[in-house]
Amino acid sequence: MPVEITWWGHATCTVRDANTRVLTDPLFALRLAHLRRRRGAVPPAEARVADVVLVSHLHADHLHLPSLAGLAPGTRLLVPRGAPRAVPGLRRLRQLRVTEVAPGDEVRIGGLLVRVVPALHDGRRLPVGPHRSPALGYVVEGEARTYFAGDTGLFDAMAEQVGPVDVALLPVGGWGPYLGAGHLDAERAARALARLAPRAAVPVHYGTYWPIGMDAVRPHEFHAPGDEFVRLAALAAPEVAVHKLGHGESVRLEVAR
């Protein structure tokens, strides 16, 4: 059975594997503070259907309380350890089954094993939260092993700590004209791809949100990261099949181990 990946925009993806639906960092908003959605419609109701939701870190474009509040009652939600203390609004989402996790944890969901892996990123709630929670990545193991990196920089032990994977969902940009520390741009994402050596990759976390009133400021950082990643990945990891999806598009991948 193939794994199916749908990219809804930003870091929000649906992974279908082993008859289980996994949703990553759901963000279903036209506007978030100073950001507006410039490309792709707000995902349809079907995007909110999931057996488990993975939240990578506490930044509001990844842990978005209104989007989480729209999930079906009983949905399983994995969040970084300490998240309910750092983001009190999480405690009001009593309809969800919230589990706090940290790197090294493993959680079984239906026919899947979800492994929690480290990420190199400031995981605090911003502007500056007093409580720290780890930024996380996840490896979803079913028919395939799919790595959702969340937000992360490139770090030396990435391949070792993530382990062998078949599919990598890698951030290649951001939501503003400049990327700070703890992020992957197209070039660093291509280097990460070479280290991880999956069979396939999907670029995410670009070309969706942008600050209001800044459309003309370094616009290539909004439009170019996906194509730039495709180009650089072909040089750094030519054996990897890269699938650049449009908003709402899906790819089905046959994985033979």
Q: Which letter does DSSP use for residue 78 in this model?
A: E
- State the pLDDT at residue 128: 54
Closest of 115, 194, 124, 110 to residue 158, by C-alpha: 194
Q: What is the mean pLDDT of the chain?
A: 95
Closest of 24, 93, 15, 19 to residue 53, by C-alpha: 24
Question: Is residue 180 very low, low, confident or very high in pLDDT (cuts 50, 70, 90)?
Answer: confident
Q: Indicate if the pLDDT at residue 124 is higher than 90.
A: no
Higher-confidence residue of 206 and 129: namely 206
- State the pLDDT at residue 181: 84
- State the pLDDT at residue 33: 92
Laid out side by side, the sheet with 35-37 consists of 31-32, 35-37, 209-211
* CB-based contacts of 33, cutoff 8 Å, min separation 6: 60
Query: What sign has the CA pseudo-torsion 240, 244, 248, 251?
Result: negative
Q: Indicate if the pLDDT at residue 166 is higher than 60.
A: yes
Residue 253, CB half-sphere, CA atoms under 13 Å: how many? 29
Closest of 236, 238, 239 to residue 184, by C-alpha: 236
Higher-confidence residue of 103 and 125: namely 103
- State the pLDDT at residue 28: 97
Q: Indicate if the pLDDT at residue 223 is higher than 90.
A: yes
Q: Indicate if the pLDDT at residue 130 is higher than 90.
A: no
Residue 106 CA to residue 164 CA, distance in Å, equals 16
- State the pLDDT at residue 133: 87
